[in-house]
Amino acid sequence: MSQKFLMSQEPLMLQERPKPHHGRACLHTIVAVLATVLMMPSVNADAVTEWNRKAGQLVLEARLTPPAANRMFAMAHTAIYVASNAISRRYPTAGVVIPATNSASQDAAIAAAGHAVMLRLMPAQQAAIDATYQTTLASISAEAGRDDGVAIGDEAADAVLAQRLDDGANLGELYRPYTVAGTYVPTSLPAALQWPLRKPWLMAHAALFRPGPPPSLTSETWAADFNEVKLYGSKNSTRRSAEQTDIARFWEATLPSVYHGLVQSVANQPGRDVTQNARLFAAVSQAMDDALIAAFDAKYFYNFWRPITAIRNADLDGNNSTDRDASWIPFIETPMHPEYPCAHCVVAAAVATVLKAEIGSGPMPVLTTSSYTANGASRSWPEPDAFMLEVQNARVYDGVHFRSSTKAGTAMGKQIGELAVAKWLRAAR
């Protein structure tokens, strides 16, 4: 890892401030929009999908960063699967064995598992988490196995939390800004510096799928990447169409809820049961968490510059096919971490790979989700590859990624998704 990015002993605060470009008023608007979208009833929703939807709202209100949010969902959905499967005994144990009887309430077990994990990782949201939990339990009678279900859910959560609380997320950071004595440099902290040191769920180690380096700055590929994002990704681009701008704004959203809507499109199909959906969400959530572990490993290893830096310093890249624009600004605020590879693309490809395997040769549902950065607007795709490609394009239209980075990220995500499929889906068929 570059000497510019050092780790510290300060604890990671999971409840982080909102991204600077949103602002307080905008954040309240986003929370309101997402609350409306996430709380809308779903025709075939079960306890797992309902919990997922409500948790998405609470995560946004808690202002978790995407890395912390993905970690929380992976832990919670794993605990939910363990609890649900302990009762139904439909699939393998996933390494955690919880004694249970089939008379226990699966809905109560799911609620208890999700409640316990969220409460541990978002303690400041206790009032809202408890209220959601108590609303669920109030609809389950003691005769329906509520108390046994709660005990199973709590035990599943304790087991998963014990396995994962020392996974490296709390190592903290000791970022040393690169400067010379007395000279000011921007002081915003880079995101998730400790993520490359985390224990993955699926990969043997964080660098398992680390891609080769980004294109040479003197290459034709670099020039093509540079000029594409310069034209299509600038804040006031005249080349980006209205549809492309809508796509860019939609995929500015990076919290798990924008992907979980796609998973719900599959989970809500007729004929599925609650343990099957618990397994699907566990597979997707673990893949998404590993996707960010892998992405940040590669990002801090290569430490590659973002478009705004490259375009404003194009006179330094040694390529006659790139021209400097001293005032170029991207369409969205540039994330506070290195460019290569595209993390959004790693996540999208991991999700798409799991969904394709889950759907298999069965009927392909229309995949739909909503975006809290697009005023709650919804978009739909006929199959997983379509949204995966759209994410690649969106990050170029956003002005924060180069095309080669989106392709490298997609390739990584497919490999991580295949690990999730092997662990969760193929092994259980």
Residue in 8, 66, 1 with CA at minimum distance from that of residue 336: 66
pLDDT at residue number 223: 98
How many other C-beta atoms can be found within 10 angstroms of the C-beta atom of residue 240?
21
| 8 A C-beta contact, residue 114 and residue 79 | yes
3-state secondary structure of 380: strand
- Closest to 12 measured CA to CA, from 59, 69, 73, 80: 69
In 308-366, the DSSP E strands lie at none
What pLDDT shows up at residue 428? Answer: 54
- Give me the amino acid identity at 322: T
Bridge partners of residue 380, in order along the sequence:
368
CB 125 within 8 A of CB 61: yes
What are the pLDDT tens digits along the chain (429 aa)?
A: 433 333 332 322 333 333 334 443 344 344 444 443 443 434 456 999 999 999 999 999 999 999 999 999 999 999 999 999 999 999 988 778 888 788 999 999 999 999 999 999 999 999 999 999 999 999 999 999 999 999 999 999 999 999 998 999 998 777 888 899 999 998 889 999 999 999 999 999 999 999 999 999 999 999 999 999 999 999 999 999 999 999 999 999 999 999 999 999 999 999 999 999 999 999 999 999 999 999 999 999 999 999 999 999 999 999 999 999 999 999 999 999 999 999 999 999 999 999 999 999 889 999 999 999 999 999 999 999 999 999 999 999 999 999 999 999 999 999 999 999 999 998 654
Separation between Cα atoms, residue 241 and residue 221, nearest integer Å = 24
Q: Provide the 3-class DSSP secondary structure of residue 379.
A: strand
- The C-alpha angle with vertex 147 and arms to 145 and 149, in degrees rounded to 5, equals 65
Q: Helices 403-420 and 343-359: crossing angle, nearest 10°?
A: 40
